[in-house]
Amino acid sequence: MKYEAVFEIIVNAFFIFLLSKFLSNHFGDWKFFIPALILHIGMILDICWNVFKIHKINKIDYQKSIAEAQENQEELRLYIAYKKNSLYVVIPLFSAIFLIVPLKAAFDYDAYRLGFWFIGFIVGSFAVAGIIAWFLKKFSDKNLIKAQRFLEEIRELEVSG
């Protein structure tokens, strides 16, 4: 889970670098600048979330009391659940941006010219968001679940012993 967060930070940092150049090249062309700025801010926030996630993972100290470890794991579990549930909103909101900015950056194509198909793409992203969020919930992080069960078993042994 920690390596996944580090990978996301590296990828986001790379795309922030690319987006910075795109932003400077399209300053004043608001129909491209604003979506790129929103994407830029979203990537910065995602880096912050991943740093928080790494902090929470590193904060779990199994040498301390079981209650503290469980509390940290519960905070991490809630964070992961929040991030998965946010996909229901983030994917539909950012789907248009993920179409507008890359098409302009890579092919110098104006995605706004797609017309009705563009609207269909955004509407379809709601279904995609639901499917992705369902899969992420269905196949959640097994290591975190195992660690939570282990701590619960230890706590039960402490209470009964």
Tell me how far apart the alpha carbons of residues 111 and 109 are, in angstroms, rounded to a whole number.
6
Tell me how far apart the alpha carbons of residues 85 and 95 are, in angstroms, rounded to a whole number.
16
133 closest CA partner among 98, 84, 92: 84
* Number of domains into which the chain is organized: 1
pLDDT value at position 121? 81
pLDDT value at position 74? 82
pLDDT value at position 58? 85
* pLDDT by residue, tens only, the chain of 161 residues: 788 889 999 999 999 999 999 999 999 999 999 999 999 999 999 999 999 889 888 887 767 777 777 787 788 888 888 888 888 888 888 888 888 999 999 999 998 888 877 778 888 888 888 888 777 777 766 666 666 666 666 666 666 76
**Distance between alpha carbon 1 and the CA centroid of its chain, in Å?**
13
> Which residues have a Cβ under 8 Å from the Cβ of 128 and sit 6 or more positions away?
91, 95
pLDDT value at position 154? 64
Q: Which two tokens stand for residue 39?
A: 């994407």
**Domain span holding position 79:** 2-160
